[in-house]
């Protein structure tokens, strides 16, 4: 009898087979996720020529000022209205980016001129209504597109438009998501409340932006005039006050050029880049130039002026700029003005701003914080949950939409250890020190994340006249119109600090490009110093001196300073026509070297002649060892250690500030009450009680 022997399957073998099966399943799931993400096709829509945008602004302009229409031989008839409205209707219908820029005009037209439009052009009015009811108002709504919803100005543009359109037609159905106007009004109201609260307690993330401030003022003005929630309207007036204060306390001789979180090449070179100059002309009654306008930026201004001129049923102005803010803007005395705006990404978790709610994502995305360690997983989850991976601005997140990255903390690990270039897009907390005198203004964003990348930030400014300005940066790359590029943004941030009229700036440039930095790192820094707008400019080795009127500027570099010859493409990128009128005049002052410094010192004729100023500066002691920069001048010893302490005569100087810390206001961060005092006048903003007191 034979006994058949069989192989015994041991427990250890079963475990190995199960493990192998799990590994195969995991790899299969991983590659399936990769394939699914790669199959997502970005929505690429090339925006059409936006020159037509002004046609809608002109319609509102002529309705606001009929005598101007008569003067220009313009008749507001059916054809005129349709020609003005139809291009915008098509733009919104096709979901091109920045369609929300037109919503303040559209909503004001239906709120203020509905009767006129219905009578003159029922078809044109119908196009406006359809454009607004068919539009997409937030990221969580259905539909794929490549509109930018998330930055600070876009948030309030979309939210106010959604609120006002829902309020206007509460029982109409919005075609994009099938929700009623009443529901959309509620959604818009919720986001407006979040936006206002963020601004009140932390300030503007796009701080001092001569480009983007106007895109806040337009929708804010509409909400103040047409909103029907008294508490919210009063709070929006407070945010309007804070916006006016930001302009008033940072401009110099009514030109708004200050360290900023959001700038482009065309926003940098003095008055030509001051996109809110019409606002300052109007607010401070400088001239009548604000009345006329035929450019695309006029559309936000029209909403603001119309709101300022509007009156309630008792004949009182709906919003009036407080006298104390007007006086602050007119102040030309010696002032040290310190302020802090925004949050660092390291603060988001402790403040409860990392999550998927509108309030949380508005704070995070309003800072343009996407890849930073604290938020990268939150970003990927939100984009995936809301179908945003096909958005052309966000398409690269397709490669990171993997369970392995989202669930294990690998995304945070990669961001922390490799520090990808997009980390520098985040607009983190600013701490701005400004020294203003009757002759000049010097301002610096104190030690803003030394060594970090920068997308659109500008960290220092010296202002003398509307065109005679200077600033220093490390270019991200030699591409003049890019952001970050040669002029706007920066490749690496310096370690810098200012005390009164002196600013110390230290650079450490890397040997090679960083992770996801797709271009070579320039081995030089540069200062915009336009010969055309100064009376004298003198370059002597590593010294540069400039004079305009009675104001002086000295620049000291570690290495030789030398001008690049006039470059027309570079000048065109700065969009300063006056610069282009002087092709023989240079404006781009270069310093080569991987480790280097720039020292700014400003002076004026009330204290010394220009010759005496130059001689004194050249006799000042300078010491630099790569980590420590020491400068002695006029009895002061300034010592800046790279990414560390800053002392003056041995006394450590604070580089992080209260919300406001100056003669006009002393306010802690996150204070519930903000008070401004000047010239015997006051403005008290009580957020909790929604009470705005003007004395």
Q: pLDDT tens, 58-76?
A: 999 999 999 999 999 999 9
Go through the chain and tell me how many residues it has. Answer: 695
The alpha-helical segments, DSSP class H, found in 203-332 are 213-226, 230-250, 277-283, 298-309, 323-330
Confidence of residue 418 (pLDDT cuts 50, 70, 90): very high
User: How far apart are alpha carbons 403 and 148 in whole angstroms?
Assistant: 26
Q: What is the mean pLDDT of residues 26-48?
A: 77
| pLDDT tens per residue, range 291-314 | 776 655 578 999 999 999 999 999
Residue 374 reports pLDDT greater than 90: yes
Q: What is the DSSP letter of 289?
A: G
* CA 435/CA 334 separation, integer angstroms: 7
Rounded to the nearest integer, the mean pLDDT of the chain is 94
Report whether pLDDT(13) > 90: no
* Residue 303: closest CA among 147, 71, 102, 122: 102
Q: State the pLDDT confidence band at 588, using cuts at 50, 70 and 90.
A: very high
In this prediction, residues 129-152 reach a mean pLDDT of 97
Q: What angle is formed at CA 203 by the lines to CA 199 and CA 207, rounded to 5 degrees?
A: 120
What pLDDT does residue 525 have? 98
The pLDDT of residue 33 is above 80:
no
pLDDT in tens, 72-94: 999 999 999 999 999 999 999 99
What pLDDT is stored for residue 1 in this prediction?
45
pLDDT tens digits, one per residue of 212-225: 999 999 999 999 99
pLDDT at 507 over 60: yes
The contacts of residue 424 (CB under 8 Å, 6+ apart) are: 452, 453, 454, 455, 484, 493
Position 28 confidence tier, pLDDT thresholds 50, 70, 90: low
Can you tell me which residue has the tokens 């100056």? 662
Amino acid 446: pLDDT: 98
Strand blocks (E) in 408-489 = 430-436, 441-445, 460-463, 469-473
Task: Inform me whether the pLDDT recorded for 14 exceeds 80.
Answer: no
Sign of the Cα pseudo-torsion (81, 84, 88, 93, in order): positive
Tens of pLDDT, residue by residue over 228-248, are: 999 999 999 999 999 999 999
Q: Which two tokens stand for residue 117?
A: 């439009």
Mean pLDDT for 365-385 is 97
CB 393 within 8 A of CB 147: no
User: Residue 591, preceding bond cis, omega within 30 degrees?
Assistant: no
What is the per-residue pLDDT across 158-186, written as a single tens digit (0 to 9) for each?
A: 999 999 999 999 999 999 999 999 999 99
pLDDT (0 to 100) of residue 20: 65
Q: Write out pLDDT tens, residues 664-678.
A: 999 999 999 999 999
Query: What number of H helices and E strands is found in the chain?
Result: 21, 24
Phi-psi region of 188 (alpha: psi -120 to 50; beta: other; left: phi over 0): alpha
DSSP codes, 61-108: HHHH-HHHHHHTT----HHHHHHHHHHHHHHHHTT-TTGGGGHHHHHH
**Tell me, what's the pLDDT at 11?**
72
Give alpha helix (H) positions in 148-202: 152-168, 181-202
Distances in whole angstroms, Cα of residue 310 to Cα of each of 83, 104, 307, 316, 604: 28, 16, 5, 8, 44
Q: Does residue 270 register a pLDDT over 70?
A: yes
Report how far Cα 572 is from the mean position of its chain's Cα atoms: 22
Judged against a pLDDT cut of 80, whether residue 42 lies above it is answered with yes
Q: What is the pLDDT of residue 3?
A: 46
Q: What is the rounded CA–CA span in Å between residue 444 and residue 434?
A: 7
CA distance 278 to 266: 17
Evaluate whether 487 touches 268 at the Cβ level (below 8 Å). yes
Residue 689 has pLDDT above 90, yes or no: yes
The answer to whether the beta carbons of residues 440 and 468 sit under 8 Å apart is: no
Of the candidates 436, 261, 454, 279, the residue with the CA atom closest to the CA atom of residue 340: 261
User: How far is 275 from 266, CA to CA, in rounded Å?
Assistant: 10
Name which of 187, 198, 190, 138 is nearest 367 in CA terms: 198
Output the pLDDT for position 65.
Answer: 93
Q: Do the Cβ atoms of 604 and 588 come closer than 8 Å? A: no
Residue 394 CA to residue 148 CA, distance in Å, equals: 10
pLDDT over threshold 70, residue 261: yes
595-629: per-residue pLDDT in tens?
999 999 999 999 999 999 999 999 999 999 999 99
Query: How far is CA 586 from each of CA 272, 344, 458, 461, 600, rounded to the nearest angstrom?
Result: 18, 38, 21, 19, 19
Label residue 487 by pLDDT band (50, 70, 90).
very high
Looking at residue 685, what is its pLDDT? 98
Contacts for 22 with CB less than 8 Å, ≥ 6 apart: none
| pLDDT recorded at residue 317 | 96
Q: Cα separation of 394 and 368, whole Å?
A: 12
The DSSP secondary-structure symbol of 605 reads T
Residue 322 pLDDT > 70, yes or no? Answer: yes
Q: Average of pLDDT values for 576-593?
A: 95
pLDDT at 575 over 90: yes
- Measure CA 188 to chain center: 22
**Residue 503 near residue 446, CB atoms below 8 Å:** no
């Amino acid at each position: 009898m034979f006994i058949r022997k069989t192989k015994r399957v041991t427990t250890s073998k079963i475990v190995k087979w199960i493990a192998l099966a799990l590994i195969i399943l995991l790899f299969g799931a991983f590659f399936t996720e990769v394939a699914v993400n790669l199959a997502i096709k970005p929505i690429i829509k090339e925006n059409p020529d936006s020159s037509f945008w002004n046609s809608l602004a002109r319609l509102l302009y002529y309705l606001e000022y009929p005598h101007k229409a008569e003067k220009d031989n313009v008749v507001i008839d059916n054809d005129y209205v349709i020609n003005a409205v139809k291009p915008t209707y098509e733009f919104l219908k096709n979901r091109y980016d920045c369609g929300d820029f037109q919503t303040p005009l559209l909503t004001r037209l239906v709120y203020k001129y509905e009767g006129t439009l219905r009578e003159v052009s029922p078809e044109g009015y119908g196009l406006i209504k359809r454009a607004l009811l068919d539009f997409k108002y937030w990221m969580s709504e259905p539909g794929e597109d490549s509109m930018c919803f998330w930055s600070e100005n876009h948030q309030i543009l979309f939210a106010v438009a959604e609120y006002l359109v829902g309020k206007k037609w509460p029982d109409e159905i919005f075609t994009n998501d099938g929700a009623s106007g009443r529901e959309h009004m509620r959604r818009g109201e919720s986001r407006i409340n979040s936006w206002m609260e963020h601004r009140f307690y932390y300030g503007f993330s796009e701080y001092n932006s001569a480009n983007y401030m106007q895109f806040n003022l337009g929708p804010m003005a509409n909400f103040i005039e047409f909103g029907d929630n008294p508490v919210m309207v009063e709070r929006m007036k407070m945010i309007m006050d804070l916006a006016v204060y930001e302009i008033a306390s940072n401009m110099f001789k009514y030109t708004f050029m200050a360290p900023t979180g959001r700038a482009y090449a065309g926003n940098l070179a003095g008055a030509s880049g001051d996109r809110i100059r019409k606002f300052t002309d109007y607010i401070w009654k400088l001239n009548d130039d604000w009345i006329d306008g035929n450019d695309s930026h006029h559309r936000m201004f029209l909403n603001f002026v119309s709101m300022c001129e509007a009156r309630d049923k008792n004949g009182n102005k709906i919003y009036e700029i407080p006298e104390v803010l007007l006086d602050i803007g007119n102040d030309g005395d010696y002032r040290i003005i310190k302020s802090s705006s925004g949050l660092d990404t390291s603060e988001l978790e402790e403040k409860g701003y990392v999550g998927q709610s509108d309030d949380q994502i508005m704070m995070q995305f309003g800072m343009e914080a996407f890849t930073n360690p604290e938020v990268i997983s939150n970003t990927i989850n939100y984009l995936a949950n809301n179908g945003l991976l096909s958005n052309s601005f966000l398409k690269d997140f397709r490669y990171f939409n993997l369970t392995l990255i989202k669930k294990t903390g690998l995304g945070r690990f990669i961001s922390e250890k490799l520090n990808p270039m997009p980390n520098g897009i985040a607009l983190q907390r600013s701490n701005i020190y400004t020294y203003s005198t009757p002759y000049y203004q010097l301002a610096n964003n104190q030690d803003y994340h030394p060594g970090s990348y920068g997308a659109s930030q500008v960290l220092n400014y010296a202002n003398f006249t509307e065109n005679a300005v200077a600033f220093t940066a490390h270019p991200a790359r030699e591409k003049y119109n890019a952001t970050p590029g040669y002029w706007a943004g920066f490749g690496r941030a310096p370690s810098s600090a200012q005390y009164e009229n002196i600013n110390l700036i230290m650079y450490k440039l890397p040997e090679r490009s960083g992770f996801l930095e797709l271009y070579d790192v320039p081995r030089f820094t540069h200062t915009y110093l336009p010969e055309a707008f100064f009376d004298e400019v003198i370059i002597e080795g590593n010294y540069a001196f400039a004079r305009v009127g009675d104001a002086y500027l000295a620049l000291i570099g570690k290495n030789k300073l030398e001008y690049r010859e006039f470059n027309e493409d570079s000048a065109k990128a700065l969009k300063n026509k006056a610069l282009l009128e002087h092709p023989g005049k240079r404006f781009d002052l270069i310093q080569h070297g991987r480790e280097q410094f720039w020292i700014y010192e400003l002076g004026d004729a009330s204290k010394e002649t220009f010759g005496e100023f130059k001689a004194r500066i050249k006799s000042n002691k300078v010491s630099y060892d790569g980590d420590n920069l020491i400068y002695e001048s006029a009895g002061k010893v300034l010592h800046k250690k790279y990414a560390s302490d800053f002392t003056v005569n041995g006394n450590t100087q604070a580089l992080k500030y209260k919300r406001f810390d100056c003669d006009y206001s002393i306010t802690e961060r996150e204070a519930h009450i903000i008070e401004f005092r000047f010239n015997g006048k006051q403005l008290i903003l009580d957020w909790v009680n929604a009470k705005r007191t003007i004395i």
